Amino acid sequence: MASLNITLPPLKPISFSLFSLSQFHGRTLPHHHSSIPTSSLPILPHGQIQFLKFKTPKITCTFSLIPTTSGIPIVEDDESGFIVVNFYHFVYIEDPEFEVSKHLSVLEELDIHGRIYINEQGVNAQFSGPSKDAMSYVKWLRHDQRFTDILVQISPSSGHAFPRLKMRYKPSLVQFDLGAQDLPLLDPSMRAEPLSPSEWRARLKSLDSNHDKANDDHKSCILLDVRNGYEWDIGHFQGAQRPEVDCFRTTSFGLSNLQVTDSDPLVNVDKDKTDILMYCTGGIRCDVYSTILRQKGFKNLFTLKGGVSNYLKKEGPEKWVGNLFVFDSRLSLPPATFKPGATTSSGSQEAPANSKFARCYICGSQVNELRHRNCANLDCNLLFLCCRNCVEGLRGCCCSNCKTAPRLRPVLFGSVRYQKWHLYRDSKVREEIS
């Protein structure tokens, strides 16, 4: 533990929020105390700061350090505050079932909810919990030399973002219809070359420049979004393409041997000369799919290291339009969640207001009340973007056929989400028995 004394004007107590603390990293204080010389502040490593007590005219600050290799500062003003943690790592695990039992022995002592999957090729984790518990698990994991260099990504949450903990062995770390368990994911040369967020941003600028040229002398490049359709609906990189499929698990672009023009953006491209830039939320889907494309003969494959969430934290919303879909109860996060105060090249703190791509799945409108919802039909459960009018008109369903289905959940308005579908199923069964 270490202490830091900061002199403030007398009789002016100060309070810090999560976002103001995120700027307190050897650079700046919150705006209303920006007159304090930054030269007197230390460069704080990846760690937590706790303000223990207030004095006049000084504040005594005590902070503890948490090791990291990600370079992403974690700053919390309350160890009981909740965070969401995401990471994945490809590494050979000889006995994954034993590995699962080891993790469970640690997790049973912590307040952690989420999905943590392990198999012979590594680990894929998304979980929430109080900052102290969540980072205790991360710290424990990094003590294992196989996981010392994992890239851990963190975002704030108002509480648990997952209903419970699911920690188990899973044959495939990513759901994919063609199967991923037999792919050579442990061989880095078979995966796409990772680009840092700054390198990715430079490539996007270069892509814009090439598109503006009148000739085709430059090397061709394709920017691909490999996420699900409902993720694309609320945010994506400018100039990106994506296959016309509902979800990643059914993606097949670049895999057909038929030289025909269809919705596949990789049909007829030169596999030796075309740069393929791929991105997803956290990076794991790109690693998996790039391995498949590599086996199909594509040479120049690049991926965004850490995915969009890492880019928004490092570079802000430059070239990004809209919000980022996340796979927990929060569903959608604005860019400012990842990097408060970040601006685009135009000086705006938000991504461009051009959200014309976001439309209601049912009526195609672009109203401000668009929200992701699951279809009320238990046997459909489609996640789709819907406006309030269509929620009322179709009773929470995605189409008129689902509206007449035999097993319907109640209509939910606003940001309220359905509980697990089996709870409604079991409830209906109990009603029939009674």
Q: Give the other-Cβ count within 10 Å of 168's Cβ.
A: 15
Q: Give the other-Cβ count within 10 Å of 247's Cβ.
A: 15
Rounded-to-integer distance, Cα 353 and Cα 323, Å = 11
Q: Taking the model in full, what pTM does it have?
A: 0.67
Domain 190-337 in the same topology as domain 82-173 = no
Residue positions counted in the chain:
434
In the structure encoding, which two tokens stand for residue 32, read together?
């209303």
Domain chopping of the chain, boundaries: 2-65, 82-173, 190-337, 371-433
| Cα dihedral 211→357→313→347 (10° resolution) | 70
In the structure encoding, which two tokens stand for residue 207, read together?
């892509």
In the structure encoding, which two tokens stand for residue 29, read together?
């204080």
Catalytic residues: 280
Q: What is the full per-residue pLDDT of the chain (434 aa) written as tens digits?
A: 444 444 444 443 444 333 333 333 333 333 333 333 333 333 333 333 444 444 333 343 433 333 333 333 333 445 569 999 999 999 999 999 999 999 999 999 999 999 999 999 999 999 999 999 999 999 999 999 999 999 999 998 889 989 899 999 999 898 776 666 788 999 999 999 999 999 999 999 888 766 555 444 445 899 999 888 778 888 899 989 876 666 666 666 766 654 444 567 888 889 999 999 999 999 999 999 999 999 989 999 999 999 999 999 999 999 998 888 887 777 778 888 888 766 544 444 444 444 456 778 888 877 667 777 888 898 888 888 888 888 888 988 989 999 999 888 888 766 666 666 556 666 554 444 33
Rounded-to-integer distance, Cα 340 and Cα 259, Å = 46
Rounded-to-integer distance, Cα 324 and Cα 321, Å = 9
Provide the CATH topology of domain 190-337: Oxidized Rhodanese; domain 1 (3.40.250)
Going by the DSSP 8-state scheme, the letter that residue 231 receives in this structure is H
Q: In what order do the strands lie in the sheet with 47-54?
A: 2-7, 58-65, 47-54
Rounded-to-integer distance, Cα 118 and Cα 89, Å = 10
In the structure encoding, which two tokens stand for residue 317, read together?
């919303």
Token look-up 């100060």 returns: 14
Closest to 180 (Cα-Cα) out of 194, 191, 166, 189:
191
Residue range 82-173 in CATH 3.30.70.100: yes
